[in-house]
């Protein structure tokens, strides 16, 4: 495993732009721990897709990238919304070669978040990688608790693999990327596909997984969860609320020690090459780095980078931190190295 650091931050003090984003996020609305179900639904509806004047913080979709909404469908006719980002179409020549494909899984604690909120990052990846990026509009809790979101992600990867010819992608060059709760779902997906491959099931195989400040261990109270209990951006009580909503209250609800909730507790041998990115001031930092170390011990090629001076969510607001776009450069380098 390679563990590196970036974004120096003097004296452990948050950069002023990060403090500003934290203040704005607190002003924007109450934390999820203070919301009832109606409040959660309202927060989803009021979420503003990235655009001016926020594009200086979030970035924007490159003009060369074509964005198309669609649906993935499984063998039983169940449909999952997707948003696809195809490079090099607007105002440029149509690509004739088969593209690699990255399935992106957005964050939001399995409760909030949307594909629209990730337009800038997904669009950037499509252009920089020369890849089709397929963002999963998975079902959200508490209306749809676990494992609904994971099932939706599995449906989308299967659909991409089966429809590769129609989509113009190479079915042998599929990667997955996700942040926060999306990193959790990406990790769960990688373990499931590994199991299917070992069982001889014909289906998609992942070339790479990229996990951005992933939530991978709901069981362990790590030092970073205790030290960053009051944030910034992400509060420990919010983590508890997100998990409670995701688990649900039914008799057959999954438990926190199930690997479909805590992939760090699953078997790690045979997973694809992995990039893990963590943030210095993030309660999820330690579990992400521990997961990377455990995968490395299991023989998985791993690169793990801690971004100093960064907070949870930095992938959504790279312009708020000095050097914040460098994590995207690393994403492209590592994903591209394995997808070719």
Known catalytic residues are: 180, 282, 312
Q: How far is CA 325 from the centre of its chain?
A: 16
The SS3 assignment for 63 reads coil
Query: N- to C-terminal Cα distance for the chain?
Result: 21
Q: Which of 260, 255, 281, 282 lies closest to 216, judged by CA?
A: 260
**280 Cβ contact partners less than 8 Å away, ≥ 6 residues apart:** 7, 9, 306, 307, 308, 309, 310, 311
Q: What angle do CA 248, 219, 222 make, to 5 degrees?
A: 130
DSSP 47: P
The 3-state secondary structure of 240-309 reads: HHHHHHHHCCCCCCCCCCCCCCCHHHCCCCCCCCEEEEEEEECCCHHHHHHHHHHHHHCCCCEEEEEEEE
For 68, 89, 130, 133, 166, the CA distances from 95, given in Å and listed in that order, are 16, 8, 9, 15, 14
Length of the chain: 340
């Amino acid at each position: 495993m390679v563990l590196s650091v970036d974004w120096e931050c003097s004296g452990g003090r948050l950069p002023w732009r990060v403090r500003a984003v934290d203040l704005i996020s607190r002003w924007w609305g109450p934390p999820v721990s203070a919301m009832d179900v109606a409040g959660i639904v309202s927060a989803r509806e009021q979420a503003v897709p990235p655009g001016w004047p926020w594009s200086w913080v979030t970035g924007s979709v490159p003009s060369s990238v074509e964005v198309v909404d669609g649906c993935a469908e499984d063998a039983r006719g169940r449909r999952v919304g997707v948003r696809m980002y195809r490079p090099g179409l607007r105002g440029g020549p149509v690509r004739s070669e088969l593209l690699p494909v990255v399935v992106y899984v957005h964050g939001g604690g399995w409760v909030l978040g949307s594909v629209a909120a990730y337009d800038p990052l997904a669009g950037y990846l499509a252009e920089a990688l020369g890849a089709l990026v397929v963002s999963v509009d998975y079902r959200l809790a508490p209306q749809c608790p676990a494992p609904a979101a994971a099932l939706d992600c599995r449906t989308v990867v299967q659909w991409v693999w089966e429809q590769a010819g129609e989509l113009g992608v190479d079915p042998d060059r599929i990667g997955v990327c996700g942040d926060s709760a999306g990193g959790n779902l990406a990790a769960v997906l990688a373990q499931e596909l590994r199991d299917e491959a070992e069982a001889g099931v014909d289906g998609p195989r992942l070339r790479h997984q990229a996990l951005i400040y992933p939530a991978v261990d709901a069981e362990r109270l790590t030092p970073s969860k205790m030290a960053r209990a009051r944030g910034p951006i992400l509060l420990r009580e919010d983590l508890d609320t997100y998990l409670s909503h995701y688990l649900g209250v039914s008799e057959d609800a999954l438990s926190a020690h199930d690997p479909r909730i805590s992939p760090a507790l699953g078997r790690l041998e045979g997973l694809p090459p992995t990039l893990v990115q963590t943030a210095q001031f993030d309660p999820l930092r330690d579990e992400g780095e521990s997961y990377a170390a455990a995968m490395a011990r299991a023989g998985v090629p791993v690169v793990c980078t801690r971004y100093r001076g960064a907070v949870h969510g930095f992938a959504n607001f790279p312009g708020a931190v000095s050097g914040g776009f460098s994590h995207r450069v690393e994403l492209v380098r590592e994903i591209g190295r394995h997808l070719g």
